[in-house]
Structure 1
Amino acid sequence: MAAQTILSIIPTLKEKHSGAPSRLSQEAQDVRGRLFSNRTLPVSRPREKPVRLPPDVSQEDFETAVKELRGSIGDENVEVNDKDLVDGWYIEHPNTHDAFHIADQEELVSSATVYPGSTEEVQATVRWANKFKIPLYPISIGRNLGYGGAAPRVPGGVVVDLGRRMHKILSIDAENASCVVEPGVTYFGLYEEIQNRKLPLWIDTPDLGGGSVLGNAIDRGVGYTPYGDHFANHCGMELVLPNGEVLRTGMGAMPGPDGSDNPTWQSFQHAFGPSIDGIFSQSNFGIVTKMGFHLMPETDHQSYCFTFPHDDDFEQIVDLIRPLAQKRILGNIPQLRHVIQEFNVTGKRKADFHDGTGPMTRDEIRAAASKMPLGDCSWVFYGTQYGPPESIAAQLEVIKNEFAKIQGSRFFLPSDVPKDHYLHDRSLVCSGVPVLRELEWLNWVPNGAHLFFSPIAPTRGKDARTVHDVVVAAHKRHGFDLFPTLCVAGREIHYITNIIYDRAQPEMKARAVRLMREMIDECAAKGFGEYRTHLLFADQVASTYNWNNSALMRFNETIKDVLDPNGILAPGRNGIWPKRFKNKGWELKTEDVDLANIGPRS
């Protein structure tokens, strides 16, 4: 029985910085309708606990602190988190907790949310936090779904929502093919603005377009055009350090004439001396308030896919991709997906293909695939080529000849499949057009939520097979369908598997936690570490990078304690704890599978 709710009108980009573009309004409505029709949880329920206070802060001191911050940046810009928790959905998501809560919904919650409207107000908020020793957790949009969303790692921390009031596109330089954005600018927003100005430029977008351009780059997210490494294609940032001081990196460290921004800030990443931009990615060393990006000049392109018939083709596929990618014959970072994802990306439910609660069998997958547009197969390769038509044609001939070495492989263009097939959405994403299609995954189970497991492996068949075998066996042990997506470059693979679970089933959530814990340790034991993870698994992942007595973490902690002696900026984010919290029971390790209480453990 679906949960009953009255659905609001989905906000558009014109109405809200995090809304959906008008061109996708109907699709957004349809996707939300499917998700809510498969929901049994109530949209909200009464809170069982009072406001979760920051650690070591009394109710009286908290009220005094909130009153002071309101006086500094405005009453309306500081909200105490005392209302019912609403998970919402992708477009209308929470900024108080993790919408895809793998722990109890009320466990990882904030005490309050702050909405600064400028770098100066971010500075004021940071200085306030130092005065009252209150942890801050900055978010850009809060759609880091699958990795923890908007949840603070330390329950009761204050979420600093940068997006609500800081969502301006500060500049788009058509000649330099670059832009500067604030944290609240989404891929949807940047794309629509470029289209409105009729500029011959592309953005690079991840699979979903509602995330923050700045936030995704800071977390080292990826897309699918030749500009797909988002952090590598940033150029210059402005940030607030944990003591409230403002810093600009790269050429922005040199003032421009007459007080203007340096004219080379978005042209060259570095300054003179050490290059420091990297220490502000996946860290808790500063709050980025402005960031520059390179944009791609528009070009002709052709998307396509190949299918391969057998599960055992996997190693050969990877080994064929490697030289094509290293020689840059492949135009982008392609995806290699298992055919089961042809099912869930349609928005259909697992129950449409399978009876019972266990994973789909291989025979069921084959039977279902045979009824789909690509037919019975095991692996699907999605690629895109760029450049003049004659160059694209020549590249495709080389690629076809290579993949023909796998008996039974088949080639498809968008014109070969129905208009609602996923290949058309890949074509959009791979030409810089942000979409919503990937949301359909969540309809696989009721109250759908997901975790990402994201190890890195060399682009070698035997290494990819090692990771894959670990993941397959672990999913089988814990009873989950396996949804692997490999983003395959010339030398490394992002092996990303999506663990889809029902938020209403504590037992399923517990199995998902055990599955993650085991895969992290088993892959690390073979030398394959995650590049990005959910905040509740960050300590475990960070502990696997332990060469030379954990020299990397000791270095990170040294920087943290120098920059942030009061430990106020996102303690625990990506496993980096300041002295104030370190070794006091906040860390979560392999043995911590019971997430009922996130806090100091003896």
Structure 2
Amino acid sequence: MARVEEKVLQEIREIVGTEHVLTDETDVKKYSKDTSEWSKMPAAIVFPANSGEVAQIVKLANRYKFPIWPFGKGKNWSYGASMGLEAGAVILMLDRMNRIVEVNEELAYAVIEPGVTQRQLRQHLEDNNIKLWTDCTDSTPEGSVLGNAMERGIGYTPYWDHFGQLCGMEVVLPSGEILRTGGGPENSRTANVYKWGTGPYIEGLFAQANFGIVTKAGIWLMPEPEKFVMFLLDLEKEEYLPAVIDTLRRLSLNRILLSNFHLTNDVLFLSAMQPYPYERLADGQTYLSAKAMASVREKYLISPWLLSGGIYGTRKQVRLQLKLLKQHLKPYGRFDLLDDARLKIVGKITRFWRRYKDFPMINSILRSVTRASLEKIEGLPAVYPIFKGIPGEYVLRIAYFKSQTPAPTENLDPARDGTGFVWFSCIVPLTGSEIDKLKKLCTEIFHKHGFDFACTFVMINPRCALTLQAIFYDKTNADEAKRAQALRKELATVLLEQGYQQYRTTVAYYDEILNCTPEFQKLANKIKQAIDPLNVISPGRYGIGLPHK
């Protein structure tokens, strides 16, 4: 495609306003940063205000043959943030499209635009005393609700499947036409409550794809439950992992556990608590030995794996579910509960502990009574709200694990701050044997490249889980940055050979992601050619619009 000429940029300015088009190198450079090594300079950053302006820009792209890449808020850190596959693209930032169009409390849904953030939607519900909960990720509160859903992001409550909660979309097609999904009349009374509509279900075409730009969508919200309790299980031994996974699968299939769960290993848990413990590395080593990691666990009283989840419902439902959960999980470690009342007690203990943390006797007594360290217990008040759909920045601190500068106390932006961090994520059947096999295989690959294996398993449904593996590296260390890229590449290659497909991927891997399935890529490309013959919207996103290798 041709580079974007000044006359084209001027026409874009006439559509959105001069102040909403950035072309200065300093301004544009802010949008070409990620926590990965990926960096592509766009030609311009454009901020449309509504779907009409988006449609006009799409028509311009067809006329002048330039690529456009849309993003909700551009906070998709480690996956490419707000950059395209090639330099010179026009980036559409949909920040200004931040209207909460409707909230229907009776039917428990909202209609929102892509600029609406996790914090904004939750705050709107609270400010208007609407008894509905959002689900949220554990990333920034300033992330786009729809942007995350279109990437098939996940959260913590029974509404954890974010794309699964979408119902009814407005989409700007590559032609510039504006489509309403669902096949119903313009005044449809069920557009946001009946997912399948009439005829073909096409909303899935717009997730992890480039067949259109979603400019509005309905999203189902969770009625505020009468009771909520967070549960925690510290696995006493590494070898308990397969049995715990099998137990959780049975509990989920039998509808005893109705939300998903997160099962996090010691390295990833540690990354949210403190900077990387370089002082514990043996000479010449670049990752912690088993002995060193055991000493870290002893210091902070953390276990090899920590299971966390939430129980929601009436008081009677929660009481019964907790009884069954405890009965099945307690044999594998310490089982704890946290609710609003207990959280207040934790807060009091934490404040007292901070005040007297330099007194050895008091510190020893509190460690014995709580069976936790101050660092571990300090995280509970920050993590607990996430299970209620209230976003926060605590978990985002993990991106600063190997950073030369500590995480800010607020307004975290790991790309801005130059941190080195990449997610590798794939799907695994939810059986103990499969997850144990995957864990051992990935640990070996991490260590081969000189990195600690940092991982969490998250249930996607009662039959499969997502493994999120964190590659932490120091961006100022050229050798480590190179090894991090090699690690991610080998993970992708080896796990694909073993039959594990990726859950989502980085921009850097778009040109390879569909190489394993030529028939699928061929069909996707035929659809792309039919509706976007000039390949103007996100060319190459998730391998669509690229020739098969």
Residue identity opposite 1:451 in structure 2: V
Q: Is the 8 A contact 1:305 1:423 kept in 2?
A: no
Out of 209, 213, 219, the position equivalent to 1:293 is 219
Q: Does the alignment pair 1:324 with 2:251?
A: yes
Corresponding residue SS for 1:540: coil
State the partner residue of 1:532. Answer: 504
Percent same amino acid among aligned pairs?
A: 29
Q: Residues 502 and 326 (structure 1 numbering): CA distance in 2 closer, same or farther, change over 3 Å? A: same
Measure, in 1, the Cα distance between the counterparts of 2:54 and 2:491: 38
Shift of 1:355: 6.5
SS in 2 for 1:454: strand
**Aligned pairs for 1:540-579 within 5 A:** 540-544=512-516, 546=517, 550-577=518-545
Alpha-carbon distance, 1:483 to partner: 1.2
Matched residue of 2:529: which SS? helix
Corresponding position of 1:362 = 290
Partner residue of 1:310?
Answer: 237
Q: Which runs of 4+ in 1 moved over 6 A?
A: none
2:193 aligned with 1:225, yes or no? no
Q: How many residues are treated as equivalent by the alignment?
A: 498
Aligned-pair distance for 1:329? 1.2
Q: C-alpha distance in 2, partners of 1:441/1:376?
A: 16
The alpha carbon displacement at 1:354 in A equals 4.6
Structure 1 equivalent of residue 35 of structure 2:
100
Q: Does 1:436 align with 2:393?
A: yes
| Structure whose residues are more often helix by fraction | 2
Task: Within 5 Å, give how 1:170-569 maps onto structure 2.
Answer: 170-208=101-139, 209-250=141-182, 253-256=184-187, 262-299=188-225, 300-351=227-278, 354=281, 358-372=286-300, 375-406=301-332, 409-414=333-338, 415=342, 419=350, 420-446=377-403, 447-488=418-459, 489-544=461-516, 546=517, 550-569=518-537
TM superposition shift of 1:404: 3.1
Distance 2:475 2:6 in 1: 33
Distance verdict in 2 for CA 1:181–1:376, change over 3 Å: closer
Could you tell me whether the CA contact under 8 Å between 2:525 and 2:544 is conserved in 1? yes
Q: CA deviation at 1:376?
A: 4.9
Q: Who is 2:371 aligned against?
A: none
Q: Distance in 2 between matches of 1:410 and 1:514?
A: 38
Q: d(CA) in 2 for partners of 1:100 and 1:487?
A: 22
Alpha-carbon distance in 2 for matches of 1:445, 1:376: 20
Q: CA deviation at 1:311?
A: 1.8
Deviation at residue 522 of structure 1 after TM alignment: 1.0
CA distance in 2, matches of 1:244, 1:222: 30
Deviations 1:18-52 (A, max 9, x none): xxxxxxxxxxxxxxxxxxxxxxxxxxxxxxxxxxx
Q: What is the Cα-based RMSD across aligned positions, in Å?
A: 1.9
Q: In structure 1, what is the Cα distance between the partners aligned to 2:106 and 2:83?
A: 40
CA gap of 1:353–1:296, structure 2 versus 1, over 3 A, is: farther
Q: Matched residues in 2 for 1:426 and 1:214: separation?
A: 22
Task: Structure 1: give runs of 5+ residues left out of the alignment.
Answer: 1-54, 87-93, 257-261, 588-602
Which residue in the other structure is 1:144 paired with?
A: 76
Please tell me the residue identity of whatever aligns with 1:128. Answer: L
Distance 1:114 1:178 in 2: 30
- List per-residue Cα deviations over 1:284-314 (Å, max 9, x = no partner): 0000100110110001110021011222222
What is the SS of the residue equivalent to 1:542?
Answer: coil
Q: Distance in 1 between matches of 2:119 and 2:274?
A: 22
Structure 1 residues 52-75: Cα deviation after superposition (integer angstroms, max 9, x where no partner): xxx433xxx611211222223322
Offset at residue 391 of structure 1 (A): 2.2
2:15 to 72, 81, 91: 72
Mapped to 2, the partners of 1:318 and 1:81 lie a distance apart of 52
For 1:21, the equivalent position in structure 2 comes to none
Q: Secondary structure, in 3 states, of the residue corresponding to 1:336?
A: strand
Higher mean alpha-carbon deviation, 324-333 vs 415-424, is at: 415-424
Paired AA for residue 179 in structure 1: A
Q: Deviations over 1:165-217 (max 9, x none)?
A: 21111111111111011111011000001000011100000112221111111
> 2:496 aligns to what SS in structure 1?
helix
Which structure has more RCO (C-alpha within 8 Å, separation ≥ 6)?
2
CA separation in 2, counterparts of 1:378 and 1:99?
30
| Structure 2 unpaired stretches of 5+ | 351-376, 404-417
Equivalent residue runs for 1:124-139 within 5 Å: 124-139=56-71
| 1:497-526: CA deviation from partner (whole Å, max 9, x where unpaired) | 111122222322221111111111111111
Distance across 2 between alignment mates of 1:81 and 1:353: 45
Provide the secondary structure at the position in 2 that maps to 1:404.
helix
Q: Distance in 1 between matches of 2:428 and 2:34?
A: 30
SS where residue 435 of structure 1 aligns?
Answer: coil
For the 8 Å contact 2:149–2:162, the answer to whether it is kept is yes
